[in-house]
A and B are shown apart, each in its own frame.
Chain A
Amino acid sequence: MEFLTYLYLFYTFVAFYFLFIYILVYFQNRKQIYEVVKPNKIYSLSIVVPCYNEAGTIGKNIEAILASNYGGLKKLIVVDDCSTDNSFEIIKGYAKKDKRVMAVQTPKNTGRAAGAKNFGAKFVKTELIGFSDADSYPEKDAISKMIGFFNDKKMGAVTSRVLVSNKKNKLAKIQAIEYKIIAFTRKLLGFLESIYVTNGPLSIYRKSAFDDVGGFDINNLTEDIEITWHFVSKGWKVEMAIPSVAFTNVPTNIKSWFKQRVRWNIGGLQTISKYKSKFFQCGMLGLFIMPFFIMSWFLGITGLFFLVYRLGRYLIGKILVAKYSVASQVALVRYEDLSLNPSILFFFGLVLFALGFTYTIIAMAYSRENNFKHRVHDIFIYSIFYLLAYPPLLIISFYKFMKGENKW
């Protein structure tokens, strides 16, 4: 067998393995996916919202949180990170209208959401501390559907399901599909105690757990991933409440999408680097989350080289054939060229794609939105083309990470 065949079989094996993990977890726990735990008591809660130049969205965010039906919400601390627009004026306006809203400002711009979040956390005196991004809008019952998980005293963090608010163009609509798949997958990972991120749009932490890990790492570009790994490494449990929904705005142009994804990837690498000593140790963090992350990186990057190599050779071969064919006045394509004799590798690929696509459909079915339906061709674009953008992003991010570029 050729080396490339071994490589392809290895990829197929790993892909089947992870897919089967998800499928098994789904079938074994599908009745609990929408589980909402009733709280034993009213836990006092403060929400911290970091804000930097978010004049266009901060008002809607504050209103969404204040509209929550959770009775234990004591404070909404909105931290202005020295915005250059009129964000702080808007925040102060809300603070005047509702005594639960506290408008605070960092002494100087921290440059990162983590800095503003940590600053806001200093004002929290409640049992639970929540965080929400200034461009996100939790649903009315989002918080109340998360709180019950804190009945478990080892529960350190509970995260919500993020859906896309601004489905204005194709890119945003495809991200909307992606966010649904991510949310469903994260919930399944929750059954394996392997949730690797508590998202920015809405996550709630036990304050003692938050203090235990020392808050957010301000040097990390994805502080929400880092703090989650920190919780897990310290033995705190992390859960996800899929019925709890927070809407968020996603990038609507390639440039900002690219920038955001590179930042996420660099943050992921920073986190892997920080917790490398936990590899194959420390429960599910070292035994599954880290190997899962590292494997994703490894497969993504090597897979791209593999793909480029194969595709490159194929295209060069076709160009050369075309060149010689034209020179010799021979037909470029003939029936014999089209006759297919697919190998077993092709069938493996086909089964994998079919299983992956079925998984996507199931995940979508669990994240239906009122008044919005995804188009089938968007799902195909996501499944075939959008996912292909991941490996190049990984390589660019890896390059930037190695160069030490870690700007927000």
Chain B
Amino acid sequence: MLKSRKHVFWEAMVMTIAIFLVGLFLGMMIEQSNSNKISSFLIESEISLADGNAFSEIIKNQNFSCDIIKNMNIEFADKVYEEAKLLEQFDGSEKLTDNLKSLHKKYDLLRTLLWTSNQESLERCKNYNLIIYLYEYETEELDKKAQQNVWSKIISDLHNNEESVLLIPIAADSELSSLNLLLSEYDIKSYPVVIINNKNVLYEIESEESLKKYLD
């Protein structure tokens, strides 16, 4: 009757370890696959950014239409924005590895470059609005998280409803020296914060309507 007594504990342990290892392996595979997906997007975006920069250099002293510049920049920014949204989604399901964290940082760098590359175009053309949304990625404060959640929605609505808005959300706590240098010019006290057209720094957003008055 008790023939199984001696072995069942080890057998159960072996089964548990086996299913656990399979589960962890599958989990890591899924996370790796997500990471690979984002990585391939990132490579494309990096190429697009480099292409955009080369384009800017070429047209610098020529009379190219500002509309072309605007459309190219907004199109590229929107692409990066959509990829970032996907990254955010994958971010929440990443439990076993830290692959996406470094990708997040890479995207922040890409978006910082996009911000800098737009300084001159905006100055020259003035035919679109540049919204930089700076938030804290690593914060554990519930109030801040909730505030950032709602701000994202307001800014996203504005971006969807207005035609000429170039939106660049950047995690301010990415520890990127280039970003830190850029931010030091604005003397920012706390996050989240919104910078519109490189001149208006907003620590409070009441609604989408309240943002519109800062747009050109």
Q: Give residues 114-145 of B contacting A (CB, 8 Å).
A: 142-143, 145
Give 1 or 0 for each of A356-385: 1 = CB within 8 Å of chain B CB: 000000000000000000000000000000
Which listed residue, A20, A191, A327, touches B16 by the CB 8 Å rule?
A20
Q: A347–B119 Cα gap in the complex (Å)?
A: 46
Residues of chain A contacted by B149 (CB below 8 angstroms): 321, 324
Which of A25-33, A75-83, A195-203, A260-268 interfaces with chain B? Answer: A25-33
Please tell me if the beta carbons of B146 and A324 are within 8 angstroms of each other in the complex: yes
Q: Give residues 195-250 of A contacting B (CB, 8 Å).
A: none
Which listed residue, B85, B90, B147, touches A324 by the CB 8 Å rule?
B147
Please tell me if the beta carbons of B8 and A331 are within 8 angstroms of each other in the complex: no
Please tell me if the beta carbons of B1 and A320 are within 8 angstroms of each other in the complex: no
Residues of chain B contacted by A179 (CB below 8 angstroms): none
Q: A313–B92 Cα gap in the complex (Å)?
A: 15
Residues of chain B contacted by A141 (CB below 8 angstroms): none
Q: How far is the CB of B40 from chain A (nearest CB, A)?
A: 18
Instruction: Select the residue from A191, A320, A342, A345 with max chain B CB neighbours within 10 A.
Output: A320
Q: How far is the CB of B104 from chain A (nearest CB, A)?
A: 15
Please tell me if the beta carbons of A344 and B146 are within 8 angstroms of each other in the complex: no
Residues of chain A contacted by B85 (CB below 8 angstroms): 336
Which listed residue, A13, A21, A327, A344, touches B9 by the CB 8 Å rule?
A21
Q: How far is the CB of A35 from chain B (nearest CB, A)?
A: 8
Which listed residue, B4, B23, B24, touches A29 by the CB 8 Å rule?
B4
Looking across the interface, which residue of chain A has its beta carbon closest to that of B150? A324
Please tell me if the beta carbons of B11 and A13 are within 8 angstroms of each other in the complex: no
Residues of chain B contacted by A277 (CB below 8 angstroms): none
Which listed residue, B15, B28, B150, touches A24 by the CB 8 Å rule?
B15
| A24-B11, A341-B89, A348-B23 given; A191·B2 CB < 8 A | yes
Q: Give residues 170-216 of B contacting A (CB, 8 Å).
A: 205-208
Please tell me if the beta carbons of B146 and A343 are within 8 angstroms of each other in the complex: no
Q: A48–B101 Cα gap in the complex (Å)?
A: 68
Which listed residue, A21, A35, A316, A334, touches B8 by the CB 8 Å rule?
A21
Which listed residue, A1, A193, A327, touches B96 by the CB 8 Å rule?
A1
Q: A25–B13 Cα gap in the complex (Å)?
A: 13
Q: A221–B13 Cα gap in the complex (Å)?
A: 34
Please tell me if the beta carbons of A28 and B4 are within 8 angstroms of each other in the complex: yes
Q: Give residues 1-51 of B contacting A (CB, 8 Å).
A: 1-5, 8-9, 11-13, 15-16, 19-20, 23-24, 26-28, 30-31, 34
Give 1 or 0 for each of B153-174: 1 = CB within 8 Å of chain A CB: 1100100000000000000000
Interface size bracket, B side: 35 or more
Which listed residue, A1, A18, A329, touches B95 by the CB 8 Å rule?
A1
Q: A4–B49 Cα gap in the complex (Å)?
A: 38
Please tell me if the beta carbons of B16 and A16 are within 8 angstroms of each other in the complex: yes
Please tell me if the beta carbons of A343 and B95 are within 8 angstroms of each other in the complex: yes
Which listed residue, B2, B16, B30, touches A344 by the CB 8 Å rule?
B30
Q: How far is the CB of A205 from chain B (nearest CB, A)?
A: 20
Give 1 or 0 for each of B68-105: 1 = CB within 8 Å of chain A CB: 00000000000000000100011011111000000000
Q: A13–B147 Cα gap in the complex (Å)?
A: 37
| A24-B11, A32-B1, A191-B1 given; A330·B157 CB < 8 A | yes
Please tell me if the beta carbons of B146 and A323 are within 8 angstroms of each other in the complex: yes
Looking across the interface, which residue of chain A has its beta carbon closest to that of B31? A344
Q: How far is the CB of B154 from chain A (nearest CB, A)?
A: 6
| A16-B20, A328-B150 given; A29·B1 CB < 8 A | yes
- Residues of B with Cβ closer than 8 Å to A? 1-5, 8-9, 11-13, 15-16, 19-20, 23-24, 26-28, 30-31, 34, 85, 89-90, 92-96, 142-143, 145-147, 149-150, 153-154, 157, 205-208
> Would you give 22 A-B contacts (Cβ < 8 Å), ordered by A?
A1-B95, A5-B95, A13-B20, A21-B8, A24-B12, A25-B4, A28-B3, A32-B1, A192-B4, A313-B142, A317-B145, A321-B149, A324-B147, A324-B149, A328-B150, A330-B153, A331-B153, A344-B28, A344-B30, A344-B96, A347-B23, A351-B23
Question: Lowest 8 CB-CB distances: which A-B pairs, in order?
Answer: A344-B27, A320-B146, A324-B150, A20-B12, A341-B93, A28-B4, A343-B93, A21-B12
